Amino acid sequence: MALSEIEIVSDSSKDNKPNTEQVVIVDVFGASAYGDLPKLIKFVEEDGASLNQPDGNGYYPLQWAALNNFADGVQYVIEHGGDVHAVDHVGQTALHWAAVRGSVAAAEVLLQNGARVEAADVNAYRTVHVAAQYGQTSFLNYIVAKYHADFDVPDNDGRTPLHWAAYKGFADTIRLLLFWDAYQGKQDKEGCTPLHWAALRGNLEACIVLIHAGTKQELMVKDNAGFTPAQIAADRGHRHISLILSNALRGHNSCWKDKGWINKVWDIGYAPVLFCIVFVCTIIFINSILFASNLVKVTAVVGLWGWTAVSLSIASLLMFVRCSSKDPGYVKTSGGINNNADAEGPLLKIDLTNTANWTGNWSQLCPTCKIIRPVRSKHCPTCKRCVEQFDHHCPWISNCVGKKNKWDFFVFLFLGLLTSLIGGVVAVHRMWTSIPALQSEESWIHHVVFQHPGAAVFLFFDSFILLAAGTLFVIQAYQIGRNITTNEYVNATRYAYLQGAQGGFHNPYNHGIVKNCSDFLIRGYTDDDEVKWPPMQQAAR
C-alpha cells in the first residue's frame, strides 16, 4: 500500500509572527514569508519588484504570505498584482498553502478575492485534502461551512479527506467529517477504506471513532489484496487494534443477537441477574439467619439490626430499579443542531462558534448522533446515545451512569454497602453464638457449610456484594470529591480540556472537595456552566 502526498516545506518560522530581527530579508518572498509589510511595500513601490513572478523554486509571494497567515500581506500582494489563481510546479495555489497551517484569516482574503475553493493540483488534491492531511480541523470546518467545499471528493487515487485524516490519525478531523456524513465506506484505487488506513498506521483513536460511527460493512470490507482492516492491523503488528476490530466484528456477528426474543434479553443486560441475587439473598437471610429453627432465639438487639438490614435491602432494591430505569442524562437532539437544519444541508448550516454548547473542543461533535454535545458528554456505544457528564456504562444496572442518575447510583452503592455489611455481621454473629464447641478436627467453616447451607450461601454472595459495592463506593466518592467522572479519569490524556498550560493534568471543574461534594449531594450533579471556557483556538500542528 502506498500513499503520495505533497509536502510544503517553508524556510520561514512556523510562528505567525516570527522574529524578523534575526532574519535578513532581501526580497519580496522573504518579506511575504515573514510578514514584514513595510519591507514588502519598499520592495514593490520603491524598487519595482514584481509580485506576480515565482522564486527560484517556483513559489509565489502570495503563497508564502498565505502559508504563515499574514492577511494584510496577502491583501497587499493581491492589490499590487498578485494572482490568486497562480500555481506552483505541482499545481498548488496560495489557498492550498493556507490550508497547511490552517491560515483562516489569509484564506478569507483569498476567497473574497476570487480564489477557487475547489482548485485541484496535479494529484487532484483540493484544499479539503490538504487540510485533512495536516489535521487543520478548524480550517476544514471554515471552508466547508462557509464556502461549501466538497468534503467527500476523491483525489487521483480515489482517496477522500476522510482517508487522509484516518491515515494521519487526526481523530478530531475524522469526527468533523463524519459529523457531516462523509462516506467511510469509500474505497480508493487499492480497495482501502479510511478504516484500512487507520489500521495500517496503528491510529487507535481514529479506529475507535470510525468503528463507533460505522457499521458492520466497514469492518468486513476487503482491499484489493483481500485483507480486512483487522487483518491489516495484525499484519503490521498492531495487535491491540486488530483485537478491537475483531471484537467489534464479532459483536455484530454474535449468533445470540440474531435470535428474535433472545436479542431482547441480550439488550436487557445483567440488571435482572443482580436484582434476583439481592432479592434471593434477602429471602435467605430472613429464613436461614433470622428465623432459622436450628439457631438460638433472636435477641432484641440482634433482631433490630437484622430487620434494619432487611429494610436497607428493600431500599437498595428500590434505588436499584430507579437508577436502572432513569434517564442518565441523554443529550436531546431536539435542542441541538436540528433546530438550525434545513433540507439542503442541515449539518453544514451550523456556525459552531455561535452554538450554545460549543467550547472549541472537537470531541463535542458526535458523528453518530449528529449533535453538538456538552463538553463532558460521551456517546455510549451500548445505549447508542450521548450522555451528559458520562461516567460509565454499568452492565449490572443495564444503564449508563450520568448527570441525572449518578446521585441515585451513589446512594444505591451506599445502601448496598451498608446492607451487606450489617447483614454479614448479623449472620456471622448468629452462627458464632449458635454453634456449639466443635471438635478439633472440624473447622467452623466446614460446620457452617454442611450444617447451615442456607447461611453459607448467604455469606458467600454477601461477601461478593460487600467487596464490589465497597470498591465502587470508594472510587465514586473519590471522584465526586475531585469532580471528575470515571471516563475522564481513565481517558484524561484524550481530552484537551483536562490538559493544563504546561501539558500536565488540570481539571477545570474541580472547585475543591467541599464545594464538589456539597453540590453533588444537594443538587445531584455539578454545574458545568460555572467554568468559563476560552475562545476556540486553532492548535498548532
Check residues 85 and 361 and name the one with the higher pLDDT: 85
Tell me the average pLDDT of the chain. 85
**Predicted pLDDT at 340:** 39
pLDDT in tens, 422-467: 999 999 888 877 666 444 455 666 666 667 788 888 989 999 999 9
Instruction: Work out the average pLDDT over 208-226.
Output: 91
pLDDT reading at 413 higher than 60: yes
Torsion of CA 176, 179, 184, 186, to 10 degrees: -90
**Predicted pLDDT at 197:** 96
pTM for this model (two decimals) = 0.77
| β-strand pairing of 392-394 with 385-387 | unpaired
Cβ burial, residue 157 (10 Å; 0-12/13-18/19+): middle
Residues 228 and 352: their CA atoms lie apart, in Å, by: 36
Please report, rounded to a whole number, the percentage of residues in the chain having pLDDT higher than 70: 82
pLDDT in tens, 298-331: 889 989 999 999 999 999 999 999 999 999 999 9
pLDDT reading at 338 higher than 60: no
Residues 375 and 497: their CA atoms lie apart, in Å, by: 8
The architecture in CATH of the region 20-193 reads Alpha Horseshoe (1.25)
**Predicted pLDDT at 442:** 55
**Predicted pLDDT at 435:** 65
- The least confident of 4-13, 86-95, 151-160, 364-373 is 4-13
pLDDT in tens, 93-129: 999 999 999 999 999 999 999 999 999 999 999 999 9
Going by pLDDT thresholds of 50, 70 and 90, the confidence category of residue 342 is very low
Torsion of CA 472, 478, 479, 480, to 10 degrees: 100
CATH 1.25.40.20 in the chain is located at 20-193
- The least confident of 47-56, 124-133, 170-179, 348-357 is 348-357
HSE value, Cβ hemisphere, 13 Å, CA-based, for 85: 3
Q: Map grid coordinates 461551512 to a residue.
A: 145
Task: Return the closest-CA partner of residue 382 out of 401, 405, 362, 408.
Answer: 401
pLDDT reading at 421 higher than 50: yes
Our answer to whether residue 380 is catalytic in this structure is: no
Q: Which residues contact 20 (CB under 8 A, 6 or more apart)?
A: 34, 35, 36
Cβ atoms of residues 34 and 20 within 8 Å: yes
User: Among residues 383, 394, 400, 517, which one is catalytic?
Assistant: 394
**Predicted pLDDT at 532:** 57
**Predicted pLDDT at 268:** 65
pLDDT reading at 27 higher than 70: yes
Instruction: Work out the average pLDDT over 11-27.
Output: 59
Torsion sign (Cα): 275, 281, 285, 286: positive
**Predicted pLDDT at 12:** 42
pLDDT reading at 243 higher than 50: yes
Across the chain, how many H-helices and E-strands are there? 23, 6
Residues 63 and 285: their CA atoms lie apart, in Å, by: 80
pLDDT in tens, 362-378: 888 888 888 888 889 99
Q: Which stretches of 91-238 are DSSP H helices?
A: 94-100, 104-112, 127-133, 137-147, 161-168, 171-179, 194-201, 204-213, 216-220, 229-235
**Predicted pLDDT at 270:** 86
Please report, rounded to a whole number, the percentage of residues in the chain having pLDDT higher than 90: 62
**Predicted pLDDT at 491:** 87
Exposure letters 100-134 (e unless 16+ CB within 10 A, then b): bbbbbebbbbbbeeebebebbbebebbbbbbbbbb
pLDDT in tens, 166-198: 999 999 999 999 999 999 999 999 999 999 999
Instruction: Work out the average pLDDT over 249-264.
Output: 54
Instruction: Work out the average pLDDT over 75-83.
Output: 94
- The least confident of 147-156, 340-349, 427-436, 481-490 is 340-349
Residues 508 and 488: their CA atoms lie apart, in Å, by: 12
